């Protein structure tokens, strides 16, 4: 069970949060300029590295804020929590 | 050993959902609540009203049922505001009052919050989970107020009575 430090509410149980997937890199400014392979890569291929990974979580049963969390996939240690993207 | 807990029947309160910037809401609440809460997950009381700060841009005003008409008239007057939205949501929440010597034990079984007085003192309020349902928890003296969507009230009451 993760204990996530919501910037507004303080430390809260993972039960109160909904996982929103990996935090994708910023959307390309002009997708029309990308190759099909690059567009598919940005759209559908998340990073799956071992170690610190940025993820989106929504405090859905708490304050409702969307958070970006950097979680170490080896230890589940949460290294950073911030509001928004 | 049985726990000593009293659970009130579910009650309806006047409830307004307030969203927007603190400046815009403070202007709309003039004459009703003098100040917004200054700490997250805290509240201020004024007259019959209790104003709770529940999210970065979200507040909730609670009052007795008989105050609904007067509050609605006061809050809804004037033109719509881009920076503040106020919605009457009294019918969306049912409230239990949980009291008795072991009320805190029952609440700590119901929800995942740290309810130790140093972490969740009197007049602390939070949105959380209670038996899998989104719930509002408020500590009022030695009593606890548990608010949730009315269609879950019978289920949550049954879960609470199982603790007893």
pLDDT tens per residue, range A18-75: 999 888 788 899 999 999 999 999 888 877 889 999 999 999 999 999 999 999 999 9
Q: Is the pLDDT of residue B1 over 80?
A: no
Do the Cβ atoms of B127 and A65 come within 8 Å?
Answer: no
Least CB–CB distance from B40: residue in A8, A11, A83: A8
- Structural fold of domain A3-25+37-83: Folate-binding fold (3.30.2270)
Least CB–CB distance from A9: residue in B126, B134, B135: B126
Do the Cβ atoms of B112 and A83 come within 8 Å?
Answer: no
Are B98 and B132 in a shared domain? yes
pLDDT of residue B48: 87
**What integer is the mean pLDDT of B19-26?**
93
* Cβ neighbours of A58 in B, within 8 Å: none
Are B27 and B74 in a shared domain? yes
User: A65 at the B interface (CB within 8 A)?
Assistant: yes
State which of B91, B119, B148 marks the end of a domain: B91
User: B110 at the A interface (CB within 8 A)?
Assistant: no
Query: pLDDT digits over B38-86, tens only?
Result: 999 999 999 889 999 999 999 999 999 999 999 999 998 877 788 999 9
Are B67 and B87 in a shared domain? yes
Quick one: tokens of B44?
């201020």
DSSP bridge pairs for B86 = B18
Task: State the Cα angle at B138 between B33 and B107, rounded to 5°.
Answer: 175
CB contact set of B7 (below 8 Å; sequence gap of 6+): B96, B97, B98, B157, B160, B161, B164
Domain count, chain B: 2
User: A58 at the B interface (CB within 8 A)?
Assistant: no
pLDDT of residue B2: 80
Q: Is the pLDDT of residue B129 over 80?
A: yes
Identify the domain containing residue B41 by its residue range. Answer: 14-91
Report the C-alpha gap between B108 and A80 in whole angstroms.
Answer: 28
pLDDT of residue A46: 79
Quick one: tokens of B114?
């740290």
User: B54 at the A interface (CB within 8 A)?
Assistant: yes
Among B108, B127, B133, which would you mutate to test the A interface (most chain A Cβ atoms within 10 Å of its Cβ)? B127
Does residue B22 form part of some domain?
Answer: yes
Q: Helix count (H) and strand count (E) of chain A?
A: 1, 6
State which of B44, B59, B91 marks the end of a domain: B91
pLDDT of residue A66: 96
DSSP bridge pairs for A11 = A5
Cβ count within 10 A of residue B35:
10
Q: Is the dihedral of CA B104, B106, B111, B114 positive or negative?
A: positive
Report whether A83 contacts A18 (CB < 8 A): no
pLDDT of residue A55: 94
CA nearest neighbour of B61 among B70, B52, B69? B52
Q: Is the pLDDT of residue A85 over 80?
A: no
Least CB–CB distance from A63: residue in B56, B114, B135: B56
Domain of B18: which CATH number?
A: 3.30.70.1400
Least CB–CB distance from A61: residue in B56, B114, B128: B128
Does residue B103 form part of some domain?
Answer: yes
Report the C-alpha gap between B97 and B92 in whole angstroms.
Answer: 17
Are B72 and B19 in a shared domain? yes
């Amino acid at each position: 069970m993760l204990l996530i430090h919501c910037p507004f509410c303080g430390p809260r149980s993972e039960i109160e949060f909904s996982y929103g997937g990996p935090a994708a890199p910023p959307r390309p400014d002009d997708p029309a300029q990308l190759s099909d392979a690059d567009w598919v890569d940005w759209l559908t291929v998340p990073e799956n590295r071992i170690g610190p990974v940025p993820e989106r979580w929504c405090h859905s049963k708490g304050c409702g804020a969307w958070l970006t969390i950097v979680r170490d996939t080896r230890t589940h240690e949460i290294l950073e929590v911030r509001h928004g993207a | 050993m049985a726990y000593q807990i009293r659970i009130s029947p579910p009650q309806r309160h006047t409830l307004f959902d307030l969203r927007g910037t603190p400046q815009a809401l403070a202007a709309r609440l003039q004459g009703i609540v003098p100040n917004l809460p200054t700490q997250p997950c805290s509240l201020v009381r004024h007259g019959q009203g209790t104003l709770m700060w529940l999210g970065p841009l979200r507040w909730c005003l609670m009052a007795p049922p008989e105050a609904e008409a007067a509050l609605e008239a006061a809050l809804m007057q004037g033109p719509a505001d881009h920076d503040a939205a106020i919605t009457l949501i009294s019918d969306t929440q049912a409230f239990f009052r949980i009291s008795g010597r072991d009320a805190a034990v029952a609440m700590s079984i119901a929800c995942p919050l740290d309810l130790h007085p140093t972490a969740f003192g009197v007049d602390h309020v939070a949105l959380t989970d209670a038996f899998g349902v989104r719930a509002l928890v408020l500590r009022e003296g030695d009593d606890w107020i548990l608010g949730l969507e009315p269609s879950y009230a019978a289920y949550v009451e049954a879960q609470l009575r199982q603790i007893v």
